[in-house]
Chains A and B, each alone.
Chain A
Amino acid sequence: MKDLKKLIRYNKLWNYLFMIIGLLATMLGLILLCALMVDLAVDGAPRLSYKFLTSFPSRFPEEAGILSAWVGSFLLLLVTALAAIPLGIAAGIYLEEYGKKNWLTDIIEINIVNLAGVPSIVYGLLALGLFVYFLKFGESILTGGLTLALLILPMVIMATREAIRAIPNLIREASYALGATKWQTVQWHIIPYSTGGILTGIIIGLSRAIGETAPIITVGALTFIAFLPTSPISMDFPFVSFKWLMDPFTIMPIQMFNWVSRPQKEFQLNAAAAGIILMVMTLLMNGLAIYIRYRFRKKIKW
């Protein structure tokens, strides 16, 4: 009896101890993030203004802005999303629904998991050879966007597969029982039910892509660029132009990096302000992911 009580007390102590350790681990991350954000906000907030968002880089810190940088980041993400989403989803659906379980799909699976862990600079080198030299896309928005698309493709594929796997087999069987083909099942059931999970994965992938610097520097993003890409909408026929895809560009992290490496203290403040904007962009995207997941979870019942 006495031993049993001792044992219970001992186990309770361990339980309690682990809770403390877990709490500390959680707090550490949170506190570091908060400290970073406060530090950025204190340094950068005074520089935030409409003018900062709508000015080009300049040698005068107080006149410099991030217009070319955020437009570049935005367009890059657009290309990335347009390239990675269809490819990633199609690959994910194939692997989950169509692909037979054999050594080939096994190899593909292992490769995808490995690709997700490859350092981003390696993608930069690959893209430099493939897009810049071989396909001759040059140092353009198209190259940058496709590079990031390669980078997040494994993440999109894995998110798609996981979302599809969560759908109970009953649904598929019911669909087949009613005479639906595989594609009809995928089109009317699998894709709609997994949209939430897929979108979440995509957005998290994109919010990683927005902060990537190394592969983009490798494929040749510029630092000083005081003009915007060609507008996608033109006044003359055919009103839509894709010339912007081939234009040179810069992105937010590169602009920040350049400011941080300047001796003048005012440029450091600019870097902090750009950091706030980048952080807000990332948080917005992650928020969007959480919101979408919530919406779709609520709709689906089985």
Chain B
Amino acid sequence: MIKKIVLGMFTLMVLAMTYSTPVVAADNLIRIDGSSTVYPITEAVAEEFQKAKRGEVKVTVGISGTGGGFKKFCRGETDISDASRPILKKEMDICKEAGIKYVELPVAFDAITVVINPKNNWIKSMSAEELKKMWEPAAQGKVMKWSDVNPRWPNHKLSMFGPGADSGTFDYFTGAINGKEKASRGDFTASEDDNVLVQGVAHDKYAIGYFGLAYYVENKDKLKAVPIVNKGATKSVLPSLKTVMDGTYQPLARPIFIYVAEKALAKPEVKEFVTFYLRHAQKLVKAVGYVPLSKAHYDQAMKNFNSKKLGTGFGGKNEVGVRVEELLKRESHL
């Protein structure tokens, strides 16, 4: 009985492999790796692209993380690298040494949402300073109650939820709010699984947490998003498709990227894939729960791509609050 099942599975597999794969040359393969934040977008594009090409081109997408992706990219193992932050100086140097040049293309926005329990009735908005007071390393063991942040808030224990230190969201939040990446208090409930954070905040009236906008959108009925007042601003802004796109939701929104190797552009299928990516991004990005760039941004990105504008506009530093239209026009460095 068991033998038969195993044998059956094996036969089925061999048959599936024999009949379902059209014969393709090995060089019709586009290798993509990198950030798991960018992954859903690239997956959607890859899926549509393979459909459009009727399987003539194979696309593979991995999730080694932004850093892991760049490592492979700079060794020439991948054609495209997904990145939830711009390439760093260290990585630029490694790429340069290996002779790898690249085009940097923003493909969408990633927005972080600060969320509270729907029963929370004392928060109407929060300023970046208040968030800093709550999350900075110095707050550890000191800021334990809501009233420690703002005396008008209840004198009740503050329970905090956030992503773990391996997450790009953690890096960006700490950079944007605390002023230094990875600088954060450590005494909060951390989880790499954002669904755990959603559950945590949804079940505790005195909880606060942060994670990607997509998770908030999926759980709108259980959570409340906090409007954020940026440093120096007077008005609070609620995260939404509109406010992220027009650049008013700051500092917690950032562009995310793909990096295309110059060498790979010699392959017509890679060029075609990237063109397909930029052309269909607006629709597909929205479909997977992210915030797309505006059409003008994608047009400009397409122009940069077609003119092979090599290098990064960041110069190896991770900036907070950068505007996409400005970034696309910046002089770039390798």
Contact = CB atoms under 8 A, between A and B. Distances in A.
A262 B192 CA distance: 12
Interface in A208-225: 217, 220-225
Interface residues on B, range: 35 or more
Given A222-B62, A223-B62, A264-B289, A231 B39 contact: no
Contact of B46 (A226, A230, A231, A287): A226
Interface stretch (A53-61, A105-113, A159-167, A183-191): A53-61
A22 interface: no
Nearest to A74: B13
A59 B40 contact: yes
A224 B55 contact: no
Nearest to A260: B193
Interface residues of A, number: 39
Given A231-B21, A232-B14, A263-B289, A223 B44 contact: no
A14 interface: no
Interface string A40-76: 0000000000000010011100000001000100110
A59 B195 contact: no
Contacts of A98: none
A229 B14 CA distance: 10
B39 A224 contact: yes
A260 B192 CA distance: 11
A229 B24 CA distance: 11
Which of A54, A226, A261, A268 counts the most chain B CB atoms within 10 A? A226
Contacts of A67: 16
A71 B17 CA distance: 9
B5 interface: yes
Contact of B21 (A57, A217, A228): A228
Interface of B is mostly: helix
Given A228-B21, A265-B218, A59 B288 contact: yes
Given A54-B16, A222-B60, A227 B47 contact: no
A121 interface: no
A176 B175 CA distance: 75
A244 B17 contact: yes
A11 interface: no
23 contacts: A58-B47, A59-B43, A71-B17, A74-B10, A223-B39, A224-B39, A224-B46, A224-B62, A226-B58, A226-B59, A227-B21, A228-B20, A228-B21, A229-B17, A231-B18, A232-B17, A248-B60, A258-B39, A258-B63, A260-B195, A263-B212, A263-B217, A263-B289
Given A59-B44, A225-B61, A263-B219, 14 more contacts: A57-B47, A75-B13, A217-B64, A222-B60, A224-B43, A226-B50, A226-B58, A227-B58, A228-B17, A231-B17, A248-B29, A261-B192, A264-B218, A284-B2
